[in-house]
Amino acid sequence: MAAMSTLLEARGLTRKFGGVVALDKLDLAVVSNEILGLIGPNGSGKTTFFNVVTGIYGANAGSIVFDGTDITKSSSRAVYHAGISRTFQRSRLSLPLSIFDNIMIGNHKRLNQGLWFNLMQRNDFKREFEANYHAARNLIEVFEPQLANRMFEPVAGLPMIDRRRIEICRALISQPKLLLLDEPSAGMTHDETAALMDDILQVRNINKDLTIVIVEHEMGVIERITNRCVVLNFGRKIAEGPYREVAVDRQVQEAYLGVE
């Protein structure tokens, strides 16, 4: 069996907001090709960790190494080009735009001066457009084949589950090495959540080189789709391992599951 390699490693990662310590000397490693669950109570530092990794916030101390390169002080754009893509808790789709346009917003590795500016200046616009269209269509077919026939319809009338699917496709269109999913089931029903998790597992089965970190409050999701999970509380790691092990950890029960 091949040895597991670390794709992302944070060491001593600290982020403060005034007197509030959101990340407190956090050590956290993500193994290549795994699905890692990041859990903890509200305010434990999960989304802050995503924001620091992706360059939205700077770290006050510590380091982040991704795929062998120190990205601690990298801009969001540089982190994206390095191969990290993400979704957000709240939908960031542009509702008047089509499914296709919303997905292609995530493919700005080639689009340095606006979504379509560079393409429109090229003689090979048609070829580029067709390549992008087929890439986007192939992605959305993994999630919901019916959406593939509605690529140029606006997303405004779609249910939440389809909007989440489009957001994940937008994050995947750049072919990242690491995908960060921030509460993808937020606002969805139990059945919708189960369907979306099926989709995520299908994506992972198709692309076994993809590494995923998922922040999620639905523990059934964490138990079902993750290889292991890390539990945060007050910006510190208090447990890690397979879900069934951390779920019975006393510190986790006290901090997250409501046991006193």
Model pLDDT, residue 254: 87
187: left (phi over 0), alpha (psi -120 to 50) or beta: left
Residue with tokens 């087929």: 134
Residues of the chain with pLDDT under 50: 1-2, 112-113, 260
CATH architecture label of 1-83+176-259? 3-Layer(aba) Sandwich (3.40)
Q: Rounded to 5 degrees, what angle do the CA atoms 24, 27, 28 make? A: 120
Give me the residues paired with residue 28 across strands. Answer: 10
Question: Which DSSP string corresponds to 100-150?
Answer: HHHHHGGGTTS-BTBTTHHHHT-TTHHHHHHHHHHHHHHHHHHH-GGGGGG
pLDDT at 2: 46
Specify the pLDDT at position 122: 59
Q: Which residues pair with 114 in a beta bridge?
A: 112
Q: What is the pLDDT of residue 198?
A: 95
Q: Give the pLDDT confidence of 79-124 residue by residue, as tens digits.
A: 999 999 999 988 889 999 999 999 999 886 555 445 555 555 555 6
Predicted pLDDT of residue 124: 66
Sequence ranges of the chain with CATH classification 3.40.50.300:
1-83+176-259
The strand ranges marked E within 138-208 are: 178-182
What predicted TM-score, i.e. pTM, was given to this entire model? 0.91
In this predicted model, what pLDDT tens digit does every residue of 51-87 receive, in sequence order? 999 999 999 999 999 999 999 999 999 999 999 999 9
pLDDT at residue 126, rounded to an integer: 74
